[in-house]
Chain A
Amino acid sequence: MGLGEHLAFQALNGVVWGLILSLMALGLNLIYGVLKIINVAHGGLYMLGAVLAWALTPLLGFGPALLLAALAVGLLGMALEVTVLRPVEDRPVMTIIVTFGLLLLLEHLVLLFFGGAPRSLPLPAVLSFSLPLFGLHYPGYRLIVALLAGLVAGGLWLLLHRTRLGLKVRAVAQSRELALALGLPLAKIYLVTFGLGAALAGLAGALTAPLVSVSYRMGDPVLVSAFVVVVVGGLGELEGAALAAIALGVLEGLLAVWTSPTLARVLALAMMSLTLLARPTGLFRRGLPEPESWA
């Protein structure tokens, strides 16, 4: 494989990974935009999606397992929002801490019931094909993942911009007080948004399951990347987060041509973080900076 093909291969990998990451980042950012919660448990929900896909595939087949995993994680997210998060929703730092507690719980309950050994989910034969692309044989499943992730992101955009529900969600994101004054059911919108964000994380995890080894700590590095991407893209800016996710994916992929994957990750994270120093409110954030909210 020459340098050109190697670069193309890594760039493609980067785009695929960036699209998966953008599902995570979109969920995280949607939840932040509406509920003003930084959901640290998002990494746990991602991991749970992968674990459920691994556990359900032998029973149902890969496709239904994928859907069921995303659905189950979404429902779990809704349950957590009502029971655990609702009482602390008006205190931003406390929600970070509570969702960190949830992350610990999710990870170690999975460790308890599923064991710590990394598992692999073999792809169904139908999906393990490769396509000739830029003079190399590219694994077809990765392209399917990219396509699905892109479709879901597009679907989310349609949901937010072309339906009444989306209008309500965007109204709450824009101004909680005004939405409340207009009589929008805030609690229900919070619930739906959190469930949607959680389902996106679950789907991202389930889609990744055949590509990586499934284990209880698999969500941590993804969570860190998603955080960086959301903040670099601009908190609450969905398009910004998606773009930043793809940028991080491609950057990491291309850097890995010259250095080890670990070092590539270090450099990519550092480069993305440095942009925050130039634009502390994120690259794509429109309007005024966020008011200081530490309490």
Chain B
Amino acid sequence: MRVRIGRLLGGGALALACSAPFYLGPFALYLLAEILAWGLFALAFDLLYGYAGMLSLGQSVFFGVGAYAAALGLLHSGLGGGAALFLALGVTTLLSLGLGTLLVRVRSHGFIVLTLALAVIFYLAALNLRGLTGGDDGLSVSVPLTPRWDYFVNLAAVVIVFGGARWLVRTPLGLALQLVRENPRRAASLGYGVGSLRLLAFTLSGLLSGLAGVLYLYTAQFVSPELLDWPTAANPLIWTLFGGAGTLSGPLLGTGILLLAREWLSSWWSYGYPILVGILIILVVRFAPQGLWGLTKRWRSLR
């Protein structure tokens, strides 16, 4: 029964999402498209943190580099939207593979601090390289996509990645990743290559974060160095935690609710969102460490 209810809800949400462009105004559609891009970012973060157990505060690096690579491809190389997308994916994959090779050597707190330092280093370097990144002003691009098509592109990307991730976490490989999260020592003694599994998770998360960055660029048509800084990387952590870490629906749910809340709050109390989020994080960790999705699970098992 439980499974069917879940599928019903998922199918309903998908049907609503597919038909949204036909009854929503342009601003609401833009907001939804942006939420989808950020939701994908949160999903990429959750694969790394919720499934492989690596808390990174530097995923903004891949989000921002993806967005910048696509923007530079569009502006300087005369690439089309599709080619720029693939260029950006190639760049972020190589970057996350390279940085991951170094980073997986360092464990727990060292990893958290190094990813944080990485985000700051990339942000400050981008601020400094005005010629390439536009410095404080950022770069504007015009993407040959109508808002409606842009929305559908984002939706398709989220659906495909969600489906792929759902498949992945149930394969033996996905289960091995979760074993590494739960007990790295046992994983190692069972013969799993803990380092390679972590590297795989890091690269995959980097690639998907880059994809999210490109989708964000195509929606917002603007990129600036702030996208690389660590507060950008802290966002998916907040959204994922709120929705439910270690689940696939949780990050999407959390991103949707919190970004809608930000939009709603910003209209009448501009300081409200960070204060709300600060209080919310403390309460969620204290009373519902599994997030919203965990709460619904608890509720379902009570019945």
A104 to B273, CA, bound (A): 10
Q: Is the CB of A262 within 8 A of B124?
A: yes
- CB neighbours (8 Å) of A280 from chain B are 105-107, 110
Binary per-residue interface labels of chain B (232-253) against chain A in the complex, 1 for a CB within 8 Å, 0 otherwise: 0010010001000000000000
Q: Is the CB of B113 within 8 A of A101?
A: no
Known contacts A265-B124, A277-B102; A109 and B281 CB within 8 A of each other = no
Interface pick from A58-66, A87-95, A156-164, A191-199: A87-95
Docked complex: B274-299 residues within 8 A CB-CB of A = 274-275, 277-282, 285-286, 289
A100 to B234, CA, bound (A): 9
A107 to B113, CA, bound (A): 21
Contact residue among B109, B271, B281 (Cβ-Cβ distance under 8 Å from A290): B109
Known contacts A273-B114, A277-B102; A101 and B121 CB within 8 A of each other = no
Contact residue among B55, B116, B279 (Cβ-Cβ distance under 8 Å from A93): B55
- CB neighbours (8 Å) of B237 from chain A are 97, 100
Q: Is the CB of B271 within 8 A of A228?
A: no
Q: Is the CB of B106 within 8 A of A292?
A: no
Q: Is the CB of B181 within 8 A of A294?
A: yes
- B108 interface residue (CB < 8 Å to A): yes
Docked complex: B105-134 residues within 8 A CB-CB of A = 105-110, 112-114, 116-118, 120-121, 124-125, 127-128
- B184 interface residue (CB < 8 Å to A): yes
Q: Is the CB of A100 within 8 A of B281?
A: yes
- CB neighbours (8 Å) of B73 from chain A are none
- CB neighbours (8 Å) of B127 from chain A are 262
A221 to B230, CA, bound (A): 11
A87 to B283, CA, bound (A): 11
- CB neighbours (8 Å) of A94 from chain B are 285, 289
Q: Is the CB of B285 within 8 A of A104?
A: no
Number of interface residues of B (CB under 8 A): 41
- CB neighbours (8 Å) of A292 from chain B are 107-108, 184-185
Binary per-residue interface labels of chain B (45-56) against chain A in the complex, 1 for a CB within 8 Å, 0 otherwise: 000000001110
- A231 interface residue (CB < 8 Å to B): yes
Q: Is the CB of B106 within 8 A of A276?
A: yes
- CB neighbours (8 Å) of B108 from chain A are 92, 290, 292-294
- CB neighbours (8 Å) of A112 from chain B are 271, 275
Contact residue among B106, B234, B271 (Cβ-Cβ distance under 8 Å from A111): B271
Q: Is the CB of A227 within 8 A of B117?
A: yes
Binary per-residue interface labels of chain A (72-112) against chain B in the complex, 1 for a CB within 8 Å, 0 otherwise: 00000000000010011001111011101111110111011
A102 to B275, CA, bound (A): 9
- A270 interface residue (CB < 8 Å to B): yes
A91 to B128, CA, bound (A): 38
- A263 interface residue (CB < 8 Å to B): yes
Nearest chain B CB to A263 CB, angstrom units:
6
Q: Is the CB of B55 within 8 A of A260?
A: no
Contact residue among B185, B274, B279, B286 (Cβ-Cβ distance under 8 Å from A107): B274
User: Which residue of A is nearest B118, CB measured?
Assistant: A273
- A203 interface residue (CB < 8 Å to B): no
User: Which residue of B is nearest A109, CB measured?
Assistant: B275
Known contacts A94-B289, A104-B281, A260-B128; A269 and B271 CB within 8 A of each other = no
- CB neighbours (8 Å) of A97 from chain B are 237, 241, 281, 285
A96 to B230, CA, bound (A): 14
Known contacts A101-B278, A105-B278; A266 and B125 CB within 8 A of each other = yes
A75 to B263, CA, bound (A): 36
A157 to B181, CA, bound (A): 38
User: Which residue of A is nearest B271, CB measured?
Assistant: A112
- A204 interface residue (CB < 8 Å to B): no
Q: Is the CB of A269 within 8 A of B117?
A: yes
Q: Is the CB of B271 within 8 A of A273?
A: no
Known contacts A96-B55, A292-B185; A224 and B120 CB within 8 A of each other = yes
Q: Which of B102, B105, B274 has the most CB of A within 10 A?
A: B274
- CB neighbours (8 Å) of B277 from chain A are 101, 104
Q: Is the CB of A105 within 8 A of B124?
A: no
- A31 interface residue (CB < 8 Å to B): no
Nearest chain B CB to A259 CB, angstrom units:
9
- A21 interface residue (CB < 8 Å to B): no
- CB neighbours (8 Å) of B110 from chain A are 231, 276, 280-282
Contact residue among A108, A224, A282 (Cβ-Cβ distance under 8 Å from B271): A108
Binary per-residue interface labels of chain A (263-295) against chain B in the complex, 1 for a CB within 8 Å, 0 otherwise: 101100110110011001110000001101110
A88 to B282, CA, bound (A): 10
Given contacts A96-B55, A228-B113, A266-B124, 9 further A-B contacts (CB under 8 A): A92-B109, A100-B237, A102-B282, A104-B274, A269-B117, A273-B117, A280-B106, A292-B184, A294-B108
Top 9 closest A-B pairs, CB basis?
Answer: A101-B281, A105-B278, A104-B278, A108-B274, A231-B113, A101-B282, A280-B106, A227-B113, A101-B278
Q: List 17 A-B contacts (CB under 8 A).
A: A97-B285, A98-B285, A98-B286, A104-B278, A105-B282, A111-B271, A112-B271, A227-B113, A228-B117, A231-B109, A263-B128, A272-B117, A276-B106, A281-B110, A293-B109, A294-B108, A294-B184
Interface residues of A (CB under 8 A from B): 38, 84, 87-88, 91-94, 96-98, 100-105, 107-109, 111-112, 221, 224, 227-228, 230-231, 235, 260, 262-263, 265-266, 269-270, 272-273, 276-277, 280-282, 289-290, 292-294
